[in-house]
Structure 1
Amino acid sequence: MMIGMNTEACDPAELAALREIFLSRPEALPPIGSVAVRSFEEEHGILLPEPYRTFVAEVSDGLRAGPPYYGLLPLAQTPEDWGSDRPERLLAEPFPLTTAWLWEAEDDEATLSDQEFEDLAAPVYDHGSLLLGTDGCGMYWHLIVTGPQRGHVWLIDENGAIPFGTRPGVSLMPGTPGFLGWVTHWAQGRSWFADTP
């Protein structure tokens, strides 16, 4: 069960919490303003979820160091290791998942050719999400901008796709869902993954 979020209106308390976390850091990039945000949205046929939308317009358009490890990317950028031969990112196409998908746990993966598997996984990487950054080794953080998971943050890597922020015991990454929950988790220095006994 995913916890509901208001992705349509920016809560002033959420924006204040983001300001407190980011503006105390000298590596924070300046905001891009609401005109640039609207231009990006029109170009891609989307509306960014709150509080991320107001955050990049009014607080900061990225951070040179964490979250994630290699920094929070400015709007519309991809990490250096993303690769230039990847398919076009289609932000207006709905993100296809609602629950975690661990590739290695798939019984059918052994029966799929590499091409068939890539065809199934490509929309997970390239549809309905904005890249927030990387922790290296092919671990990419995505903010979902279109589809049922809009506003949630997902980790997508060579092992699968996992949503951040669900109830403990239900997810590999329990915590408060959404952009603010993800940023706060990082700012508190907590591990992304569930503690193991």
Structure 2
Amino acid sequence: MMTGMNTEFCDPAELAALREIFASRPDAVPPAGWEAVRSFEAEHGVVLPEPYRTFVAEICDGLRAGPPYYGLLPLAITPSDWGSDRPERLLAEPFPLTAAWLWEEEEEAEEALPGQEFETRMDSVFGHGSLLLGTDGCGMYWHLIVTGPQRGHIWLIDENGAIPFGTRPGTSLMPGSPGFAGWVTHWAQGRSWFADV
């Protein structure tokens, strides 16, 4: 698990950087306000990690185009392609991962030893402890982790697996500064999400 991120207090420098990035965006949705943020938190039994919490309340509650590719979702909205057959999203339940998990490796093991554990674990990765930030299409969803050891980190979860964004160069497929501000800054700089392989 990465350390050094403060998810309890909003860093004024991070907030200033987010304000600057979104100030020039004509497609930004107005902020939700503190009442809406606190109501969402009470409904789901979570406290959103900073700086996302202050960002949604004071700066912007969504973006019609990038990040991600199809826009930053407003608080409490799921992408139109999310599907109605998925299990209920439980934000107060801890996100179960602390390291990348590629489904294919697990599926091969499941063929030799069939059971429900794989499906149950996959459902919890998609539905526990994370807020959907948006989609890059083709089933690629960006999640902000709101509960558990990875709280405040951003993960890309798709048909191939779950990968955390923002780890030291050379140790991840997606190196960069961890957390919401690091993820947005990475996008605003036009950098590729993935490390050169």
Q: TM-score, normalised by structure 2?
A: 0.96
Mapping for residues 82-161 of structure 1, pairs under 5 Å: 82-106=82-106, 107-111=108-112, 113=114, 115-161=116-162
How far apart are the structure 2 equivalents of 1:149 and 1:111? 31
1:166 is the counterpart of 2:160: no
How far apart are the structure 1 equivalents of 2:143 and 2:5? 17
Match of 1:192 in 2: 193
Runs ≥4 residues deviating over 2 A: 109-117
**Offset, 1:108:** 1.8
**Offset, 1:74:** 0.2
Match of 1:57 in 2: 57
Structure 1, residues 162-190: CA drift from partner, whole Å, max 9, x if none?
00000111101000000000001101111
**Offset, 1:102:** 0.7
Counterpart of 1:85 in structure 2: which amino acid?
Answer: D
Question: Residue 169 of structure 1 aligns to a residue in which SS?
Answer: coil
Question: Residue 36 of structure 2 aligns to a residue in which SS?
Answer: helix
Match of 1:29 in 2: 29
Aligned residues: 196
Q: Which runs of 5 or more residues in structure 1 are unaligned?
A: none
The answer on whether the counterparts of 1:103 and 1:109 sit within 8 Å (CA) in structure 2 is no
Question: Residue 156 of structure 2 aligns to a residue in which SS?
Answer: strand
**Offset, 1:104:** 1.4
**Offset, 1:23:** 1.5
1:14 is the counterpart of 2:14: yes
Q: TM-score, normalised by structure 1?
A: 0.96
**Offset, 1:114:** 7.8
Q: Which runs of 5 or more residues in structure 2 are unaligned?
A: none
**Offset, 1:138:** 0.3
Question: Residue 53 of structure 2 aligns to a residue in which SS?
Answer: helix
How far apart are the structure 2 equivalents of 1:32 and 1:78? 16
**Offset, 1:112:** 5.0
Question: Residue 81 of structure 2 aligns to a residue in which SS?
Answer: helix
1:178 is the counterpart of 2:168: no
How far apart are the structure 1 equivalents of 2:150 and 2:117? 25
Which is further off, 106-115 or 27-36?
106-115
The answer on whether the counterparts of 1:72 and 1:132 sit within 8 Å (CA) in structure 2 is yes
**Offset, 1:116:** 4.2
RMSD across aligned positions (CA): 1.3
**Offset, 1:4:** 2.3
Question: Residue 47 of structure 1 aligns to a residue in which SS?
Answer: coil
% identity of equivalent residues: 82
